[in-house]
Structure 1
Amino acid sequence: MSVSVETTKVLAPDKHALQLVTLTNQQGMRVQFIDWGATWVSCVVPVGDEKREVLLGCKLEDYAKQGVYFGATIGRYANRIANSQFDYQGQTIKLTANQGSHQLHGGPIGFDKRRWQIEQTEEKCGENGVIFSLTSPDGEQGFVGTVKVQAIYRLTDDNALIAEFKAISDQDTPLNLTNHAYFNLYHAEQGSDIREHLLQLNAAQFVPVDSQGIPNAPLKSVQHTSFDFRQAKAIKQDFLQDEQQLTKGYDHAFLLGTGHEKTGAILTAPDGSLRLTLTTSQPALQVYTGNYLQGTPTRAGGEYADYTGIALETQALPDTPNHPEWWQYGGMVKAGETYQQWTRFQFG
């Protein structure tokens, strides 16, 4: 079990070198992070006699240039806010747009494009970890309030990575943090068709969206739709049916079943050789089947094709600031209130 921090020779957009944090457990599982975007850049899992990379990723020098949010910590608000604005307590808050008229993943300079501080690394009691911290000033990307954030990543000896987010704001503000890793349990290095994987979700409802990913209807039952993953099925089975045609595949939020420590998703490699079980405190899960990965650089200097990785982003529902009926599921925090959410990625 070990933790190491290495200063690389790669410069980030702020002209300072990237710091690479490596966590290793007694089973030989290894995860790596960089301090630009508090980004999860690698996840190598022992599978039989091999060590298998299960995260899509690129060369370190490409992380600041790629546009698909590989492994990044996302904030202030993961997912979309319609028309980059919302009304709150009689005031219209206008945000910085970065996807047409809408805001996606916190704006053009979200948490994924910021230098995080490595607050501490730790080794203890069968797990080791790293704590990244960031201060988001009042007015950043249009959001009100100064927010102090921690992204905490811990590796356990039973081959699980736990991602925990803590934050506190001095004003009421939208807050919705997640990690944007793309998984491929079979062939993440060059990518293989993720639609061959099996997926099971603990979700009876999903959010219909328009072609820009903006919610356009109330929560809808998955029953008798292509969004029903309550029993494990190949992702390809009902692919591009129903509302998926608007978004070129799955790019939808699912409201997870209740319970403090709920299994949100189970992803299984096509040959059954590896399984990812995701449990979380978060209320919802955005499932994105990599519909627009074409041309994104790989670690080996090639390019990924569409549908070569799946993002399973635990979070609040999209566009919650414009949907008071969804505030009960999180996404808005009060001044002085501690935001705290966690997700466990269990490999086995």
Structure 2
Amino acid sequence: MLATLSSSETLVSPDSLKVSLEAGLFTDGNPACVHTLKNKQGMTVSFMDIGATWVSCQVPTSEGKREVLLGMKKLEDYQSHSAFLGATIGRFANRIAKGKFSLNGQDYRITINNNDNSLHGGIDGFDKRRWSVKEHSESHITYNLTSPDGDQGFPGSLTVEVAYTLTENNQLCIEYSALCDQDCPINLTNHAYFNLDGAESGNTILGHELMLLANEYLPTDEQLIPTGELRPVDGTSFDFKTTRPIRDRLLEDDDQKTAKGYDHALTLPSELTDGISPIAQLTSSDKLVTMSVFTDKPAIQFYSGNFLGGTPSRQGEYNDYQGIALETQFLPDCPNHPEWPAENKGFIAKKTFYQYQTSYQFEAQ
């Protein structure tokens, strides 16, 4: 394993990243637009209007700033890769089996883009759209998007906003809101990948220590579609209630072997999904950086970057297990599981307001 490189060798400044990403043209023939938020502690986070994508997260440490978010320097790399790095995901994050569901007595077919299934909203998900900037300041930016009736097969005209706010205690809060003129499944998240050793360090995340306060996990079939079982994590390799290294029980059981590691949804205790109680905590292998996760979503997808190999990076390519995604959401394929508890299902009723938030807080030595 490579040692973590010094920040001066790996950092791409926010200004340089902006210039690089805005040099390319999107499919509409226009360049991307990048904004950077900063606080008085010296932390910076940067976002791109293409996909309302989180493209950089630089945390000040005793050894200098550290880039902890996987990302790229070229717009064409963001357009061509398949790992959804930092993108806003919708209308429906995760998988819908066979791209089919029924709602109010009507059958719907969603575009298929992952084996036989629909993944992260279908072929032309929200990650592939140019979002409009509604408002922005030094510490806040809001993007909005309109998704027309029938978009990727989903019912209803949907308006959606995602707002990013950087606080003075090094917390990035992501707020999602949406309104639809028909009943529709909706499941918004951000697909950020973190490496607290440094995104370009060469290290995997397997030496990171993780605490994840989950109740159950969802076993899957060979196409990573949930079988329907909600299995308690207690005593399994998915039990991270006590902090331990990610590699500790990697590939220990058949559920992991199917996915080449962790790529599973887990349910969260309702008493902790209040947006102010930590549901997960991740610590770098050198113990220098810790990230805590807060949410009011009922579930989380824990992905250990099992198939990141070959994904463009800021300095070449990432390898497998070089980033971890902790995607707060509703359960995958929930439109096809009426037997699951209602709180785990992502639906928006006609003309009702969808609003959820997730925050990532960083502490450094």
TM-score, reference length from structure 2: 0.91
State how far apart, in whole Å, the 2-side matches of 1:275 and 1:328 are. 29
Q: Structure 1 vs Structure 2: percent identity of aligned residues?
A: 48
Contact 1:264-1:285 at 8 Å conserved across structures: no
Task: Name the SS for the 1:244 alignment partner.
Answer: helix
Q: After superposition, give the CA deviation of every residue in 1:64-90 in whole Å (9 maximum; x if it has no partner).
A: 111100000000000000010011122
Aligned to 2:137: 122
The CA deviation at 1:193 is: 1.2
Answering whether residue 264 of structure 2 is matched by residue 252 of structure 1, we say: yes
Q: Give the 5 Å matches for 1:186-335.
A: 186-242=197-253, 243-259=255-271, 260-261=274-275, 262-300=277-315, 302-326=316-340, 327-335=342-350
The CA deviation at 1:25 is: 0.6
Code of the residue aligned with 1:230 in structure 2: it is K
State how far apart, in whole Å, the 1-side matches of 2:228 and 2:258 are. 14
Contact 1:249-1:289 at 8 Å conserved across structures: yes
Would you tell me which structure has more strand in proportion to its own residues?
1
State how far apart, in whole Å, the 2-side matches of 1:66 and 1:191 are. 19
State how far apart, in whole Å, the 2-side matches of 1:291 and 1:122 are. 37
Q: Unaligned stretches of 5+ in structure 2?
A: 1-13
Contact 2:261-2:304 at 8 Å conserved across structures: yes
Q: After superposition, give the CA deviation of every residue in 1:5-33 in whole Å (9 maximum; x if it has no partner).
A: x7822211221110001001101100000
Aligned to 1:337: 352
The CA deviation at 1:329 is: 2.0
Aligned to 1:40: 54
TM-score, reference length from structure 1: 0.95
Code of the residue aligned with 2:302 in structure 1: it is V
Q: Give the 5 Å matches for 1:56-205.
A: 56-61=70-75, 62-123=77-138, 128-205=139-216
Task: Name the SS for the 1:232 alignment partner.
Answer: strand
The CA deviation at 1:250 is: 0.2
Contact 1:190-1:303 at 8 Å conserved across structures: no
State how far apart, in whole Å, the 2-side matches of 1:70 and 1:346 are. 19
Task: Name the SS for the 2:127 alignment partner.
Answer: helix
Match of 2:65 among 42, 51, 68: 51
Q: Unaligned stretches of 5+ in structure 1?
A: none
Contact 1:282-1:342 at 8 Å conserved across structures: yes
Q: After superposition, give the CA deviation of every residue in 1:316-343 in whole Å (9 maximum; x if it has no partner).
A: 0010110123333230110011100101
Code of the residue aligned with 2:82 in structure 1: it is G
Q: Give the 5 Å matches for 1:16-35.
A: 16-35=30-49
Q: After superposition, give the CA deviation of every residue in 1:181-237 in whole Å (9 maximum; x if it has no partner).
A: 000000212541111100111112111111211001310001121000010010000
State how far apart, in whole Å, the 2-side matches of 1:66 and 1:38 are. 16
Task: Name the SS for the 1:325 alignment partner.
Answer: coil
Could you list the runs of 4 or more consecutive aligned residues of structure 1 that deviate by over 4 angstroms after TM superposition?
A: none
State how far apart, in whole Å, the 2-side matches of 1:345 and 1:37 are. 19
Contact 2:44-2:59 at 8 Å conserved across structures: yes
Code of the residue aligned with 1:253 in structure 2: it is A
C-alpha RMSD of the superposition? 1.6
The CA deviation at 1:257 is: 1.3
Code of the residue aligned with 2:240 in structure 1: it is F
Task: Name the SS for the 1:342 alignment partner.
Answer: strand
Code of the residue aligned with 1:110 in structure 2: it is G
The CA deviation at 1:36 is: 0.2
The CA deviation at 1:58 is: 1.1
State how far apart, in whole Å, the 1-side matches of 2:28 and 2:260 are. 35
Code of the residue aligned with 1:267 in structure 2: it is L
Contact 2:228-2:337 at 8 Å conserved across structures: no
Code of the residue aligned with 2:147 in structure 1: it is S
Contact 2:72-2:312 at 8 Å conserved across structures: yes
Contact 2:298-2:343 at 8 Å conserved across structures: no
The alignment covers a number of residue pairs equal to: 341
